[in-house]
Structure formats: C-alpha cells, structure tokens
Amino acid sequence: MIQTIQTTPYADQKMGTAGLRKKSKVVMQKYYIENFVQSIFDVIGNLKGKTYVLGGDGRFYNDIAIQKIIKMAAANGVSKLVIGQNGFLSTPASSNIILKNKLDGGFVLSASHNPGGENGDFGIKYANQSGGQCPSSTSEEIYKHTLNIKEFKICDAPDIDLSKLGHQELCGMEIEIIDPVIDYVKMMEDIFDFNAIKQLFAKGFTMRFDAMNAVTGPYAQRIFEDILGANKGSVVNAIPLPDFGGLHPDPNLLYAKELINLMFSDQSPDFGAANDGDGDRNMILGHNFFVTPSDSLAILTDNYKLIPAYKNGIFGVAKSAATSTAVGRVAKAHNIGYYEVPTGWKYFVNLMDSNRITFCGEESFGTGSSHIREKDGIWAVLFWLNIIAATGKSVEQITREHWQKYGRSYYMRFDFEGISTDVADKLMADLEAKLPSLNGKSFENYHISNAAPFIYNDPVDHSSTKNGLIIKFADGSRIVYRLSGTGSSGATLRVYLEKYDTKNLNGDPLKMLENILEIALNIAEVQTRTGKQHADVIT
C-alpha cells in the first residue's frame, strides 16, 4: 500500500516567523503539501518509534491537508499520530500534548491570524520535541531539502474518519483520535484559581469572549461558560468555520470590531477578550478600555503571586525586541532575569527550557509562560480573570495602578502592507547603512542615543540572529523597524513606536507618539519609498 511518487521541487517553501504560510491557492498546487511534509520527514529521519501530534484551526483545506499528512506519516514509518477530533487542535493545546506525553513533535495546520478560505491563507507550523516550533537552523535545512526533493512516500488508503475518538491503524501506523479540549482544560485548572474565578462570575461579573469563528470556540465555551459559570452566550463566534465566517481572525483594534464596539458602549460587559485563528493570541479589554499587549505582559508579570502555579516564584521574563520595555521595569523591581529576543515565539523556547524565564510576550497580542512552548490566548484571559477575582479591581483600575507604580510606555505599531519586496528590502538595507550616521543626532527634542540592528545571541545554543533595526532616544523612547515574516504576498513594513512617561499617564497614545512617528517615517523615507501616506493597520 506504500507508494513512492515522483515530484518536482517548489522554490518557495521557506518557513517564516511561524512556519510555512502561503495563499491557499498556492498550497493547493499539485504535491505542494507533499513536498513540504516529505522534506520535514526526510530531515528528521529515523521515524520508527516516533509519535507526532496533528491538528489545525479548521480553516479551508485543513481537511485535505490533514489526510495527506496522515497517509505520508504512515508511509514514512512514523509509529503513531495523535490527532485532534475532526482535525481540530489549537496551537497551545498541541504544544501541551507534545510536552505532557513527551512526543517527538507535531504539526499545526494554520496560518494563525491570517484570513482563511480559498482566497485566504493556509499554513503549517512544525514543532519538535521541545513542544515549540523548530529553530531557524532546522527550518533552513528543511527549506534546502525542498529545493531538491524528487519523491515522496504515501500510503494508498481511504481517508481516516477523524470524528471517531479512539484508536485506528493505517499502513502499520497507530492513530489515536483525542478530544482536543480535555487535556488543555486540565492544564488550565492546574495553573489558575478556578474557584476564585467561579465566585467572581457567581457575583454577577460579565464577560464577552470573541472566538472569531476560529479554533478557540470549543475551548472557551467549556472553560468560561460550562466550568467557570460565565453567562451562556458570553462566548461568541464560537463555532470554527473554514472561512472564519468572513472574519479576519486577528484579535486587534481593527479586526475585532464587533467586540471593540461593544466594550466601548453602554452595554459593555465588565471584561472583553478575543483570540486569533489558532488560539495563541489574545486581546484584553475592560469597559471603555484597551490594554496594549506590552502592558499586559508587564501587568501579568507584576502580579504573578496571585496565581497558584506561580506564587512560589518565577524565573525571569522575556519579550521580543519590538515589544515595549514596560516589562523590563517590572523585571528590575522583582529582581528577576530579563531577556530581549527576535520576533517569533521559537526564540523563547531555549530560555524556557533552561529555566531562565517563566513568562514571555510579544507586542503582537501574544503572552504565555513555560507551561507550554507557544503563546497561549486562553491562558492570558484566565490570568486576567484570576487577577480580577483576587483583587476585586477592574481592568482599567489594574492598568492605571500599574502605570502609577511604573510609569507608562505609550506604544503603537504602524503596518505598511502590500509593499513590493524589492522596495521593502531596499528601504531596510538603506536604513541599516544609514544608522551609524544617526548616532548622536537630534530631531527637535529627541536625541538619538543609539541606532543599530537588533542582534540576538542565544545564551543556550549560541546562535546569532539579526532581526529589525532599533533607534533609541535619550528619554527612553524607541523606534523599531522590521519586515513581517508571516505574510503570503509582497512585504509588510512594521514600525513600532514607544515613548516612556512617568508624569502624564492619561495621554492619547496617537498624540503622545505623533512626533516620534514623524521622525520614524522621515528617517526611513517610508512615504516617498512606499508611496503610502498612512499605515494600513494601526494597533
């Protein structure tokens, strides 16, 4: 039943910030998935005795891709696959299954926060035995392999019935279909004070969780409504749909509009949250109030003692370089380790494995801890609920008190999308060349103290990664420039701005950052080079 089929390489199967991400139509080309997956199996080698987890966020083409991967795993000699029922598994749930059962890795079929559907995006994240996505050195090796691939192996058999829980067999490989939610819920119960949160809801606390028609609906309904007692209907857009019901499952101020409108209205519940396509991102809102992800990371870290799993102490904390420095001040106050890494969760994995950090986060609505090796959307929501239950304070109160204590990092990100790759690459190259000449220069009241590329030297595997360009000012303000590594066409320039203030805590972020924005766009000649006067997305 095992067939070896001849194929020819594709030139574009390079993983980005988080796995392979392409237009669905690209992935639907003949043997596209097969080439990529065979390359992973070839690079891992020696698959006998190995077990992998497999699932996805339910987006368009998941059903086809998952059957291909199952049949290829069997033909390549994998011993066992653990698969989420009906092909569903969130990214955090998948990481948990790898760690808890000491599996050899796994595949999450998702393009995360990118839109789905036939005209949307598709993606594959590959995790190794760490429970996190493979390091860049491995993805580079896989990419090289895709450029020379000549054949792949596949088991010629009917599709597996993914709705049936329990054990099956295919071409000598064991398949176990599991409930995607049970183990994840258990893990959350072990971390947080569910009783305190139950009492909070019993006293009439209200929330709205927007699952954006993506994978977290079933997890959120089970946890928030069934177990914790939030009102029925608190979780909306709860059924995962192949095209996310036309929504763009990116939990931010632009794409989670329905939730934002509710939270900034008189009908607002006490608390609002949303997750992305594969359940690893989160957005936190109070009544009339938005918490930036950078502040959220700082606030969670500052309050670790309120959470049962962390109350006896935490290792350090890490953030991506583009994320605001707010959490750095918290790390200093608590006298714990503090690390800055390139963008992408894979860079946190070594720090967690070596007990250097417990918490980590990114400005792109990602927060998490060493309970797994991916960011975790529902974990962050539960952390906030646990703080609220323990303190009796609102989201706004908690955040404002944090600013009183530590000062406030005004922070925003401006994305310029759909730029031609050549223009974007040249913009970054020219800017990098110009950085040394900027050192010591002043723009009105802003004095540049340092302008340099961000280079990360991993303390564990000693790899070195360059990611983004940073301009630092004497008053602590910062500009970070990066090109996105998750898009499926053209280039996206991200400009991240930060300004620290200890006196004016109630400013409007856009106003506070107005001058720095102008400086940032001028230095990089963004408008003249891209032809865009304004950012496409502001978060």
Binding mask 95-134 for Co ion (x = CB under 5 A): -----------------x----------------------
For the bound state, the minimum distance from the C-beta of residue 429 to ligand VG1, rounded and expressed in Å, comes to: 18
**Residues 322, 323, 325, 330: is their CA dihedral positive or negative?**
negative
Please say whether the beta carbons of 311 and 390 come within 8 A. Answer: no
Among 57, 121, 278, 362, binds Co ion (CB under 5 A): 278
Residue placing its CB nearer to ligand VG1 in the complex, 16 or 407: 16
What is the rounded CA–CA span in Å between residue 358 and residue 223?
23
What is the rounded CA–CA span in Å between residue 483 and residue 493?
5
Closest CA to 276 of 120, 90, 413: 90
Choose the stretch contacting Co ion; rule: CB under 5 A; options: 23-31, 273-281, 417-425, 458-466.
273-281
Q: Would you list the DSSP string of 407-470?
A: -EEEEEEEEEEEE-HHHHHHHHHHHHHHHHHHTT-EETTEEEEEEEEEEEE-TTT--EEEEEEE
Q: Which residue is closest to Co ion by CB?
A: 112
Calculated CA dihedral for residues 199, 200, 202, 207, nearest 10 degrees: -150
For the bound state, the minimum distance from the C-beta of residue 18 to Co ion, rounded and expressed in Å, comes to: 7
Please say whether the beta carbons of 259 and 208 come within 8 A. Answer: yes
Residue placing its CB nearer to ligand VG1 in the complex, 251 or 269: 251
Residue 42 contact partner, candidates Co ion, ligand VG1, none, CB within 5 to 8 A by sort of partner: none
Residue placing its CB nearer to ligand VG1 in the complex, 80 or 494: 494
Residue 343 contact partner, candidates Co ion, ligand VG1, none, CB within 5 to 8 A by sort of partner: ligand VG1
Residue 34 contact partner, candidates ligand VG1, Co ion, none, CB within 5 to 8 A by sort of partner: none
For the bound state, the minimum distance from the C-beta of residue 447 to ligand VG1, rounded and expressed in Å, comes to: 28
Residue 86 contact partner, candidates Co ion, ligand VG1, none, CB within 5 to 8 A by sort of partner: none
Residue placing its CB nearer to ligand VG1 in the complex, 131 or 269: 131
For the bound state, the minimum distance from the C-beta of residue 72 to Co ion, rounded and expressed in Å, comes to: 24
494 contact partners, CB below 8 Å, separation of at least 6: 322, 413, 414, 415, 416, 480, 481, 482, 483, 484
DSSP-derived letter for residue 88 is E
For the chain, give percent helix, strand, coil, nearest 5.
Answer: 35, 30, 40
Q: Which residue is closest to ligand VG1 by CB?
A: 112
Residue found under tokens 């031609």: 420
Q: What is the 3-state secondary structure (H, E, C) of 346-400?
A: HHHHHHHHCCCEEEEEECCCEEEECCCCCCCHHHHHHHHHHHHHHHCCCHHHHHH
Residue 225 contact partner, candidates ligand VG1, Co ion, none, CB within 5 to 8 A by sort of partner: none
Among 276, 295, 302, 374, binds Co ion (CB under 5 A): 276
Point out the catalytic residue in the list 39, 94, 110, 112: 112
For the bound state, the minimum distance from the C-beta of residue 73 to Co ion, rounded and expressed in Å, comes to: 24
Binding positions for ligand VG1, rule: CB under 6 A: 17-18, 112-113, 276, 280-281, 320, 343-345, 362, 364, 366, 484-486, 494
* Pairing state between β 408-419 and 491-501: antiparallel
For the bound state, the minimum distance from the C-beta of residue 122 to ligand VG1, rounded and expressed in Å, comes to: 13
* Residue 294 is among the residues annotated as catalytic for this protein: no
Residue 364 contact partner, candidates ligand VG1, Co ion, none, CB within 5 to 8 A by sort of partner: ligand VG1
Which residues are designated catalytic?
Answer: 112
Which stretches of the chain bind Co ion, using CB under 5 A?
112, 276, 278, 280
